[in-house]
């Protein structure tokens, strides 16, 4: 019987740690110099770059971030990027930072700026 309250508290604390995509966007916005722009995020998502190993975000994630994609080199399946199609996206700030770091280096050949991150997130959250 003593384990039940502990499990309930553990469950509540884990649920309390999950952020909403809007909360993650607000955190990203706090680090950016300008208000988020879904238009700039759309451009970042679809533009082609020459600095990284992959030409664009849409190379792996498809032109529609609401559908599943495939990694260009490994052919590994990638779940939809937009939170409207994948509730796990933009729910864990640590994972968001991890994937920005990894994918910005993969596509841009460098880390994304705070502005690029918030614009990209705004674009994805604007998907319906």
Q: Mind listing the pLDDT tens digit for each residue in 52-69?
A: 899 999 999 999 999 999
Sorted by where each starts, the structural domains of the chain and their CATH numbers stand as: 18-125 (1.10.760.10)
Instruction: Return the H-helix or E-strand segment holding 69.
Output: strand 69-70
pTM of the model: 0.84
Task: Confirm if 120 and 44 have CB atoms less than 8 A apart.
Answer: yes
% of the chain exceeding 70 in pLDDT: 86
Structural tokens at position 45: 């998502």
As a whole number of Å, the end-to-end CA separation of the chain is: 45
What are the tens digits of pLDDT across the range 13-41?
444 456 899 999 999 999 999 999 999 99
């Amino acid at each position: 019987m003593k384990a039940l309250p502990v499990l309930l508290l553990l469950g509540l604390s884990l649920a309390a740690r999950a952020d909403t995509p809007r909360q993650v966007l607000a955190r990203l916005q706090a680090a950016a110099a300008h208000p988020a722009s879904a238009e700039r995020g759309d451009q970042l998502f679809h533009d082609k770059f020459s600095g990284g190993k992959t030409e664009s975000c849409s190379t792996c994630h498809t032109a529609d971030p609401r559908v599943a994609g495939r990694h260009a080199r490994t052919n590994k399946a990638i779940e939809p990027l937009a939170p409207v199609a994948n509730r796990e996206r933009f729910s864990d700030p640590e994972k968001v930072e991890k994937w920005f770091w990894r994918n910005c280096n993969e596509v841009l050949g460098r880390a994304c700026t705070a502005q690029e991150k918030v614009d990209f997130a705004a674009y994805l959250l604007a998907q319906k």
